[in-house]
């Protein structure tokens, strides 16, 4: 569990402030995991980009959207798949193989499915309060895909 400045992870702080927790993550649909995972992944990427230095907001947005897109996430998923635990691979596969209700306009169905799996894994790890593992995987993926922030 990642400890913040005030003595807790983001998830534990949210639970303390607003209640919640104690939910069986196995009950969450893969698209629900992907929904929260998309936000978690984007906040990590946005933070990394912002910390590289002051830039105009539209420049920050353009740079972020090049990384937080199905095509790049699919490459990242491919890059880290072999480093996932059996449980993480299962969560990724469940996300990747779930029935999709929409697709990305600028990505292939295969890339969109891989990206959904990657986001589901990020969501699962976040809800498991394992931010450290998400950051480790994102770091490995950024390095493997050679993405410059």
Nearest CA to 122 out of 79, 77, 72 is that of 77
Kindly state the helix (H) or strand (E) to which residue 45 belongs, with its residue range.
Answer: helix 30-50
> Does residue 38 have an active-site annotation?
yes
3-state helix, strand, coil in the chain (%, to 5): 70, 0, 30
Q: Collapse the DSSP code of 26 into the 3-class scheme (helix H, G, I; strand E, B; otherwise coil) and give the result.
A: helix
Nearest CA to 12 out of 147, 116, 130 is that of 130
Query: Please, which residues have CB within 8 angstroms of residue 123's CB and are 6 or more apart in sequence?
Result: 28, 32, 33, 34, 35, 36, 37, 38, 40
Could you say which of 24, 38, 111, 129 is catalytic? 38
The answer to whether the beta carbons of residues 125 and 3 sit under 8 Å apart is: no
Residues involved in catalysis: 38
């Amino acid at each position: 569990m990642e400890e913040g400045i005030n003595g807790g992870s983001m998830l534990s702080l949210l639970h303390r402030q607003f209640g919640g927790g104690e939910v069986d993550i196995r009950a969450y649909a893969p698209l629900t995991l992907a929904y929260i995972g998309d936000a978690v992944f984007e906040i990590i990427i946005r933070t990394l980009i912002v910390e590289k230095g002051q830039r105009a907001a539209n420049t920050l947005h353009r740079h972020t959207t090049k990384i937080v897109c199905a095509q790049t996430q699919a490459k990242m998923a491919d890059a880290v798949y072999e480093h996932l635990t059996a449980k993480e691979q299962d969560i990724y596969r469940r996300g990747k193989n779930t029935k999709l209700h929409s697709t990305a306009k600028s990505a292939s169905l295969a890339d969109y499915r891989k990206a959904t799996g990657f986001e589901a894994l990020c969501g699962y790890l976040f809800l498991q309060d394992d931010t450290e593992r998400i950051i480790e995987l994102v770091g490995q993926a950024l390095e493997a895909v050679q993405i410059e922030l």
